[in-house]
Amino acid sequence: MKVRLFILIVILAFLYFSFFQTHPCVGQHLSTHSSTLSAKNGEGKPEEDLRGSTPQAIEEYEKEKLAKMKKNIGRRLLTVKTINPAVFYESPDNLEKKLRIKREKEGFVITEVVQNRSGTKNFYQVKFDSRETGYLTADANHLEIKIKEGSLISVPKKTSTRKTSPNQSKVLASQAVELVKNHLTPAGSVEKRMEEERAKSFPYPTWRYEAKEIGEKKFRVLQYVEERSAPPFARTWIVDLSTKEIKPENQAAKAIYR
Q: Containing H/E element for 213?
A: strand 206-215
CATH domain 166-255 topology: Heat Shock Protein 90 (3.30.565)
Which pLDDT does position 44 carry in this prediction?
Answer: 39
pLDDT of residue 56: 83
Distance CA(218)–CA(173), nearest Å, equals 9
What local confidence, expressed as pLDDT, does residue 234 receive?
A: 92
Neighbours of 80 (CB within 10 A): 18
57 φ, ψ (degrees, to nearest 5) = -65, -40
pTM for this one? 0.45
pLDDT at 134: 95
Which residue type, as a one-letter code, is found at position 95? L
- The per-residue pLDDT for 30 is 39
Gap between the Cα atoms of 105 and 107, Å rounded: 7
Q: Which parts of the chain sit beneath pLDDT 70?
A: 1-8, 10-53, 157-164
Domain boundaries, the chain: 55-154, 166-255
How far CA 83 is from CA of 28, 57, 72, 107, in Å, comes to: 58, 39, 25, 19
What is the distance between the alpha carbons of residues 50 and 48, in angstroms, rounded to a whole number?
A: 5
Whole-number CA gyration radius for the chain: 30
pLDDT recorded at residue 233: 92
| pLDDT at residue number 114 | 94
Give per-residue burial for 171-187: e unless 16+ CB within 10 Å, then b. ebbeebbebbeebeeee
pLDDT in tens, 137-161: 999 899 999 999 889 998 876 554 5
